A and B are shown apart, each in its own frame.
Chain A
Amino acid sequence: MTTSHDPPRLRTLKHELPARLSRALETMPAEEASSEQLALLAAKVRGALEAQPAERSPANTRRRTRSTSRRVASLVVTFAAGAAAGVAVATGLFLGFPRSWPHATAPVPSVPGSIAIPRAASASEPYPAPTPAEPPSFPSAAVAMSSKPAGSSTASAHALGKPSQAGPEPSQDELALVARAQEALARTPGAALSLVAEHERTFPRGALGQECEVIAIDALLRLGRTTEAEARAGRFHQRFPTSALGRRVDVLLEVRN
């Protein structure tokens, strides 16, 4: 997947282009689907998944049934936050922010056979075990998904957000810790805060520092510690002025205030 020999994009050569082409190329990459459009798509996909027979092959029956229901339920949550929040929700990062959206704690419309969205698990099992049938290549795929070509300012620049610090990829230990913090957020925001603090101690130069800050801000808001959350958000913007997560931070504050 070499990218080093990619030619410069046409839009960067605008002096050599017909003016009209240059105009079109300059603005088209920034086009975005509206939140209503995305909500419509989500509704259609949800409807189709609900209508789908849950089993495909005997070997997969149980897993498919369970995961389909769970995924449907999650979609419901993801887009239950309303049109205004639609884009923000759609821009959730790979750490599972949609699930932690404040509205997600509201009752989930029931889906036949649905099971609860995974919550923070007990202390003895801080995070759900992997489903054996899932391929082991997913972690790297998740990282791959989060990389975005430079120079784009589309919604997906948030959605596929650049990794918080464009440098190192997080280690598995770091990912696991941040995932635990993320999972703890909904039910035990205090625990999420502790886990973020643990992250700061253990991985002071970790790759997921920004994600942790967002979790901390979210947790403070859930605990009603608004002033601290605002101060932390201010520091976030200072430290990471161009972060793809900046908007997420703003939305969190807006929703809670």
Chain B
Amino acid sequence: MLTTFLDFDHVFAESSPFVWRVLGRLGVAQRDIPDVGQEVFLIVHRRLADYDGRAPVRAWIYGICVRKAAEYRKRAYRRYEQLGHAAEESGEPGEQERHLELREARACLEGVLAELSSGQREAFVLYELEELPMGEVASAIDCPLQTAYSRLHAARKAVTEAFRKREGRGEPT
């Protein structure tokens, strides 16, 4: 009877917001997220009945996202689409002003993330942006906890340094 709680529609309703979000953060262009998200949920649907319960469902689905996004990045060889840029044109002047800094900051982070190795990027996105506990991060990226820590550590260092460098040069995004 309790199995009903994890029926596919429930899982979909609960996980689709983060699936959408994390795919974008892992480098899937906005216009491609529905397609990649569909692939993710087809796997979830196919495997839900066999899901072994070793990892929390959330980490399991994050793991599928990580793999699908990695495949996507390989496929979409350098089809650069800076997510911040499309939105830059729109908005009221006042609003533009207020959000300019923020947009710059985010675009900068996206640029820096794109430069990281896959493993580092995944650890950084899942821990710093998705705020999963490290245990789930390791489970989602399918590596030992210690490896996840060292990837995160390296990623944090690289990200912080990249920002320092850019600020030091007074470089715009």
Chain A residues in contact with chain B, CB under 8 A? 1-3, 5-7, 9-11, 17-21, 23-25, 27-29, 31-33, 37-38, 40-42, 44-45, 48-49, 52, 56, 60, 63, 67-68, 70-71, 74-75, 77-78, 87, 89-96, 98-99, 118, 127-131, 133-135, 137-142, 144-145, 147, 149-152, 154-156, 159-160, 172, 175-176, 179
> Is there an interface contact between B106 and A141, defined as CB atoms closer than 8 Å?
no
Question: Looking at B49, B109, B131, B163, which has the most chain A CB atoms within 10 Å of its CB?
Answer: B131
> Is there an interface contact between A156 and B17, defined as CB atoms closer than 8 Å?
yes
The 6 closest A-B pairs by CB, nearest first: A137-B53, A1-B135, A144-B56, A74-B9, A3-B133, A33-B20
Chain B residues in contact with chain A, CB under 8 A? 1-21, 25, 33-35, 37-38, 41-42, 45-46, 49-53, 56-58, 101-102, 104-106, 108-109, 127-136, 139, 145, 152, 156, 159-160, 163-164, 166-167
A251 to B41, CA, bound (A): 27
Contacts of B9 in A (CB 8 A): 71, 74-75, 77-78, 98-99
> Is there an interface contact between B45 and A49, defined as CB atoms closer than 8 Å?
yes
| 30 sample A-B contacts, Cβ–Cβ < 8 Å, listed by A number | A3-B133, A18-B167, A20-B105, A20-B163, A21-B160, A24-B108, A28-B109, A40-B34, A45-B38, A45-B42, A48-B38, A92-B13, A94-B6, A94-B14, A95-B5, A96-B4, A96-B10, A130-B3, A134-B49, A135-B51, A139-B5, A140-B53, A141-B56, A141-B57, A142-B6, A145-B14, A151-B131, A152-B131, A156-B15, A179-B2
Q: How close is A40's CB to chain B, nearest CB, in angstroms?
A: 5
Q: Count how many pairs of residues, one from A and one from B, have CB atoms less than 8 Å apart in the complex.
A: 238
> Is there an interface contact between A94 and B58, defined as CB atoms closer than 8 Å?
no
> Is there an interface contact between A147 and B156, defined as CB atoms closer than 8 Å?
no
Contacts of A1 in B (CB 8 A): 56, 133, 135-136, 139
Interface SS majority for chain A = helix
Contacts of B3 in A (CB 8 A): 130-131, 134-135, 138-139
> Is there an interface contact between A38 and B16, defined as CB atoms closer than 8 Å?
yes
A176 to B133, CA, bound (A): 30
Question: Looking at A52, A95, A154, which has the most chain B CB atoms within 10 Å of its CB?
Answer: A154
With A44-B34, A176-B1 already in contact, the answer to whether A159 and B13 are too (CB < 8 A) is: yes
> Is there an interface contact between A144 and B58, defined as CB atoms closer than 8 Å?
yes
Contacts of A44 in B (CB 8 A): 34-35, 37-38
Question: Looking at A2, A24, A175, which has the most chain B CB atoms within 10 Å of its CB?
Answer: A24
> Is there an interface contact between B1 and A127, defined as CB atoms closer than 8 Å?
yes
Q: Which of B21, B134, B145 contacts A33 (CB 8 A)?
A: B21
Q: Which of A40, A63, A98, A139 contacts B10 (CB 8 A)?
A: A98
Closest to B161 in A: A18
Contacts of A9 in B (CB 8 A): 127-128, 131
Contacts of A98 in B (CB 8 A): 9-10, 13
Q: How close is A73's CB to chain B, nearest CB, in angstroms?
A: 9
Q: Which of B11, B16, B57, B129 contacts A29 (CB 8 A)?
A: B129
Q: How close is A103's CB to chain B, nearest CB, in angstroms?
A: 14
> Is there an interface contact between B56 and A32, defined as CB atoms closer than 8 Å?
no
Closest to A20 in B: B105
A2 to B137, CA, bound (A): 11
> Is there an interface contact between B56 and A129, defined as CB atoms closer than 8 Å?
no
> Is there an interface contact between B37 and A128, defined as CB atoms closer than 8 Å?
no
Q: How close is A86's CB to chain B, nearest CB, in angstroms?
A: 10
Known: A138-B51, A160-B14. 7 other contacts (CB 8 A): A1-B139, A21-B160, A41-B20, A71-B45, A78-B13, A90-B14, A95-B5
> Is there an interface contact between A32 and B1, defined as CB atoms closer than 8 Å?
no
Contacts of B132 in A (CB 8 A): 149
Contacts of A11 in B (CB 8 A): 128
> Is there an interface contact between A156 and B14, defined as CB atoms closer than 8 Å?
yes
Closest to A118 in B: B4
> Is there an interface contact between B20 and A29, defined as CB atoms closer than 8 Å?
no
> Is there an interface contact between B17 and A32, defined as CB atoms closer than 8 Å?
yes
With A9-B131, A141-B57 already in contact, the answer to whether A90 and B5 are too (CB < 8 A) is: no
